[in-house]
């Protein structure tokens, strides 16, 4: 692999629109030459006074020859002036070298562990995405599944910042176990809903700490997993819920009528690492895996979203 790394300074904000036009036009050209964006961000903390870029871009290519072919292509040359006349930049090509054993991040590393909360909220809450409000509504409906149980124990897998906990009636539950891999999200959840004495927040990687998760979930009357299965992978999810004996399990997945996994919000490039890590899980595959584990479908509900996307909530019971 070879990496094209460029740092950007934007000395004249009045010319920012030319650079924004460049970034919009360059992405399909990069992809034509097998390029894949690894980082494209202005969230930079400078550690020295001599290097303070406004923006860093890292693009992965199969080899450096692809980088040269991209930079010398007629398509790229036609737009290069937009960047050259609007920003200051320095670039290097870095070829991947042999890594010592134990140095490379494993395939089970979950990028959600350090995904910024502000980007998550800006994307999920964007008017063209509209997922935060819908997910909160879904959580309220999931809580209604155990309305007939006195003091139920609720477990929320992938609780993020607690979106949906506004539907919890204080004192109604014996316990609410909120699990997430991202400690920043859990801290924000605690700030917002720490007034719920029954709320217990735990940082767990559900891909690598499944035994610990199963131990925590044994008393749960309801386990919810909204937009989670794709990100921890179906086999890991089934391994967890398959070892539970008590709960009702409610899962929400996303169906993309437009064929695109991420809605357009202006922040979708930030989710590229998330998408590469995830494994798509359709309704049929999920239901069959749950059936083999002993779960029957209790209910199915669809929620229409912007950009031709649909949430499907599937409730299962043993």
Same domain, 220 and 259: yes
pLDDT at residue number 277: 84
Looking up tokens 């767990």 gives: 204
Residue whose C-alpha is closest to residue 205's, from 228, 226, 175: 228
* Three-state secondary-structure class, residue 56: strand
User: In terms of residue numbers, what domain contains 83?
Assistant: 2-95
Strand (E) or helix (H) holding 119: helix 117-124
- Kindly report the CATH number assigned to the domain that includes residue 20: 3.30.70.100
For residues 204 and 311, state if they share a domain. yes
State the Cα–Cα distance between residues 93 and 5, nearest whole angstrom: 6
SS3 89: strand
Q: Rounded to 10 degrees, what is the CA torsion of 187, 132, 268, 277?
A: 60
The mean-pLDDT minimum among 133-137, 241-245, 291-295, 303-307 falls in 303-307
* Arithmetic mean of pLDDT over the chain: 90
C-alpha distance across the termini of the chain, in Å: 47
Torsions phi, psi for 111 (to 5 deg): -65, -15
E-assigned strand segments in 107-243:
153-157, 175-180, 199-203, 222-226
With the CA atoms of 104, 109, 114 and 116 taken in that order, what torsion angle do they form, in degrees rounded to the nearest 10?
110
217 in the same domain as 305: yes
Q: Which of 95, 124, 157 is the last residue of a domain?
A: 95
**In this structure, are 278 and 151 located in the same domain?**
yes
pLDDT value of residue 129: 86
Judge whether residue 263 has pLDDT over 80: no
Of residues 163, 155, 199, 208, the one with CA closest to residue 181: 208
284 half-sphere exposure, CB direction, 13 A CA radius:
0
In a domain, 107, yes or no: no
Residues 7 and 78 in one domain: yes
φ, ψ of residue 102 in degrees (nearest 5)? 90, -5
Which pLDDT score is estimated for 38?
86
The C-alpha atoms of residue 162 and residue 165 are separated, in whole angstroms, by 6
In the numeric block, which tokens belong to residue 132?
């935060």
Question: Residues of the chain with pLDDT > 90: what percent?
Answer: 69
Model confidence band, residue 158 (pLDDT cutoffs 50, 70, 90) = very high
pTM here is 0.67
The pLDDT of residue 255 is above 90: no
Residues 123 and 84 grouped into a single domain:
no
| CA angle at 272 for the pair 271 and 273, rounded to the nearest 5° | 95
Is the per-residue pLDDT at 112 higher than 60?
A: yes
C-alpha distance from residue 204 to each of 107, 196, 249 (Å): 17, 21, 19
197 and 293 in a single domain? The answer is: yes
CATH of the domain at 190: 3.40.50.150
Number of domains in the chain: 2
Shared-domain flag, residues 200 and 282: yes
Residue scoring higher pLDDT (208 or 313): 313
What is the average pLDDT across 290-308?
A: 92
Is the pLDDT reported for residue 242 higher than 90? yes
Task: Examine residue 12 and state whether it is found in any structural domain, yes or no.
Answer: yes
Q: Are residues 7 and 139 in the same domain?
A: no
Show which of 43, 65, 95 is a domain's final residue: 95
Q: Does the residue 101 lie in any domain?
A: no
Q: Are residues 255 and 125 in the same domain?
A: yes
The predicted structure's pLDDT at residue 69:
94
Indicate whether 119 and 225 sit together in one domain.
yes
Q: Are residues 283 and 213 in the same domain?
A: yes
The span from the CA of 232 to the CA of 281, in Å, is: 11
Q: For residue 98, what pLDDT is reported? A: 58
Mean pLDDT calculated for residue range 299-316: 92
| Angstrom distance (rounded) from CA 79 to CA 14 | 19
Cα dihedral 53, 57, 62, 63 sign: negative
């Amino acid at each position: 692999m070879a990496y094209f790394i460029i740092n950007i300074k934007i000395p004249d904000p009045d010319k920012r629109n030319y650079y924004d036009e460049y970034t919009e036009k360059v992405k399909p050209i990069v992809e034509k030459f097998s390029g894949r964006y690894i980082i494209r961000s202005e969230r930079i903390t400078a550690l020295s006074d001599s290097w303070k870029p406004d923006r860093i871009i890292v693009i992965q290519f199969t080899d450096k020859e692809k980088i040269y072919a991209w930079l010398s292509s007629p398509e790229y040359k036609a737009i290069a002036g937009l960047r050259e006349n609007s920003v200051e930049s320095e670039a290097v090509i870095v070829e991947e070298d042999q890594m010592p054993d134990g140095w490379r991040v494993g395939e089970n590393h979950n990028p959600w562990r350090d995904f910024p909360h502000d980007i998550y909220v800006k994307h999920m809450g964007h008017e063209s995405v509209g997922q935060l409000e819908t997910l909160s509504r879904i959580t309220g409906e999931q809580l209604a599944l155990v309305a007939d149980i006195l003091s139920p124990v609720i477990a929320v897998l992938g609780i993020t910042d607690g979106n949906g906990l506004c539907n919890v009636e204080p004192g109604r539950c014996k316990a609410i176990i909120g699990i997430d891999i991202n400690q920043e999200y859990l801290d924000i959840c605690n700030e917002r809903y720490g007034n719920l004495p029954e709320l217990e927040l735990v940082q767990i990687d559900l891909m690598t700490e499944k035994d610990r998760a199963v131990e925590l979930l044994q008393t749960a009357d309801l386990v919810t997993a909204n937009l989670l299965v794709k990100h921890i992978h179906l086999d890991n999810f089934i391994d967890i819920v398959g070892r539970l004996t008590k709960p009702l399990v409610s899962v929400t997945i996303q169906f993309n009528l437009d064929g695109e996994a991420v809605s357009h919000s202006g922040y979708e490039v930030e989710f590229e690492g998330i998408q590469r890590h995830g494994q798509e899980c359709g309704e049929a595959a999920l239901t069959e895996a749950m059936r083999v584990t002993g779960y029957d479908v209790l209910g199915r509900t669809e929620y229409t979203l912007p950009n031709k996307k649909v949430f499907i909530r599937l409730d299962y019971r043993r």
